Amino acid sequence: MDYLEKYKDWCTNEIFDEQTRTELKNITDENEIKERFYKNLEFGTAGLRGIIGAGTNRMNKYTVTQATQGLANYIKKVGAEDRGVAIAFDSRNMSIEFSRWAALCLNANGIKTYRFDTLRPTPELSFAVRHLNCIAGIVVTASHNPPEYNGYKVYWEDGAQIVPPVDKGIMSEVQAVTDFSSIKEMSLEEATAKGLYNVIGEEVDSAYISELKKLVLRQDAIDKVKKDLKIVYTPLHGTGNLPVQRILKELGFENVYVVPEQEKPDGNFPTVSYPNPEDKKAFELALNLAKKVDADIVLATDPDADRLGVYAKDTKTGEYMSYTGNMSALLIAEYELSQKKEMGKIPSNGALITTIVSSNLAGAIAKEYNLKFIEVLTGFKYIGEQIKIFEQTKSNEYLFGFEESYGCLVGTHARDKDAIIAVMALCEAAAYYKTQNLTLWDQMINIYEKYGYYKETQISITMKGIDGAERIKAILEKLRNNPPKSFGSFKVIESRDYNEGIIKNYEDGSESNTTLPKSNVLYYKLNDDAWVCVRPSGTEPKIKFYVGVKGNSMENAEKLLEEIEKDVRVLGE
């Protein structure tokens, strides 16, 4: 069936409600029709993510319940329907409806659901799956995407997002649901009466917060400066507001200022064009408030509160300095590990895990504390998978994990990146360093002085629609067929093609295997600890280039980064 036939079917078939059919009939642009129907919204390894609207390539009741019916079929296939599914949702438009439809579809298949009463952070859903001994979890969120998007992520019994072989099994079942009339439905009243639809809330919240508080290392430092440390925080209209305020209050911090214009949940994100703490524009209101109250640190979480953005005041200049995701995560890592070392709490088999596109500083810190250093593919689910392996084999003890995209995890209460624990750990670190007469920016410079000036950047180029997808494919093919020999004055000394699973060493001509799962990623190791990596985004219509260098000063590192960046930008043209 071509896209026009699918369109006509959706316009006339009474399986689809009147609102859906009317929305589609009012479209006059054939390109718009093509965009909505040229393919099915793909259920990939991260679940679903797309623009809200009617059509097979959109987020709507039918594509969400199609995915849920496939999930239900898989759960029944593995005989785990008795354990139930936890469900959370964020502040985005249609999140409430999508999460309810998903719950009722599972209920219609005889599977219990535990749905949060109101919006909750993604990491709390990860926690809830294990806390409630569920077989799976669903969170309805599009993370930091623009307002027109929503998404649907699936977690498995370990609390991490699905990985092989479970992901392949679920994807296969979802793809097998080709007839929308086969999707089971049930009313809320019937599901509730049968004990299939259950509402959760405060009990899980308290258990989650309790686990976080167990991870505090220096309550004494917090107690010393709790009246002096000033924290500005914005949830960017998302889920972080209540848990962040709760944890900071329970730890004793007295000067927490929430940006009033961004405190209330709002799926239209009226004060930001892009609700992403990686975007400096998202901090505009928070920085204005920080200047008014003379804040020490400025924090922002994304709509589902798994990513944290940070600014800290440089008292020497009076400026608020921005942190990349690598910087804030590794500042937390250095704090946690240095304190644990002082307390004699670093185990002999401790491990630090990160992704292949994160800072090489991570390896230097792991070496300093004699930890096993593990690199995984992009996606926090692979870090969660390592935690599961550690628990099963007792081979290592997880101490810290992060990815460069502003997400990290202290502790193993969750199996996904957790901005609530990141806020807690960063504020604790700020309190401790304040007792040492240091700001967080002072400490960042101390880290660079100790290990070297590692600096990274990411270049994201948006390429929307069918043409954009083809352009991204062409760029990667060109790089595979004509691999670069240099970037600026840096030589490529090794290339890794994670799709082919091959590492080529250009110094001795040898080849070896990557040992990681197949992924459409190209990595170039350069001389002097520099590197370049390219991959298509798994959640947005973008191609992403990552660059890292190591300099002998901040200025030197910035100069080296600019040099490589010029050549990298040419690749995306």
Q: Is the N-terminal amide bond of 483 cis, ω within 30° of 0?
A: no
Query: Residues 151, 47: contact at Cβ < 8 Å?
Result: yes
- Output the CA torsion sign for 92, 96, 102, 103: positive
Rounded CA gap, 568 and 24, in Å? 41
The candidate with the shortest Cα–Cα distance to 550, out of 322, 362, 320, 374, is 362
Q: How many Å apart are CA 249 and CA 277, to the nearest integer?
A: 23
Three-point CA angle 181, 186, 190, nearest 5°: 160
Q: Pick the catalytic residue from 143, 328, 405, 519.
A: 143
| Distance from C-alpha of 239 to C-alpha of 269, rounded to nearest angstrom | 12
Which residues lie below 8 Å from residue 141, measured CB to CB, with a gap of 6+? 89, 90, 92, 95, 122, 150, 151, 153, 303, 304
Alpha-carbon span 541 to 521, nearest angstrom? 16
Residues 409 and 416: their CA atoms lie apart, in Å, by 7
CA pair distance 180, 189, nearest whole angstrom: 23
The span from the CA of 141 to the CA of 303, in Å, is 8
Burial of 26 (0-12, 13-18, 19+ CB in 10 A): exposed
Whether 143 is a known active-site residue: answer yes
Choose among 120, 283, 144: nearest CA to 203. Answer: 120
Neighbouring-strand partners of residue 540 = none
Question: What residues are paired with 398 via a beta bridge?
Answer: 351
Residue 20 to residues 16, 42, 48, 60, Cα–Cα distance (Å): 6, 20, 19, 9
* Contact yes or no for 478/557 (Cβ under 8 A): no
Give the residue among 411, 404, 350 at the shortest CA–CA distance from 380.
404
What token pair was written down for 170? 């679920």
The residues annotated as belonging to the active site are 143
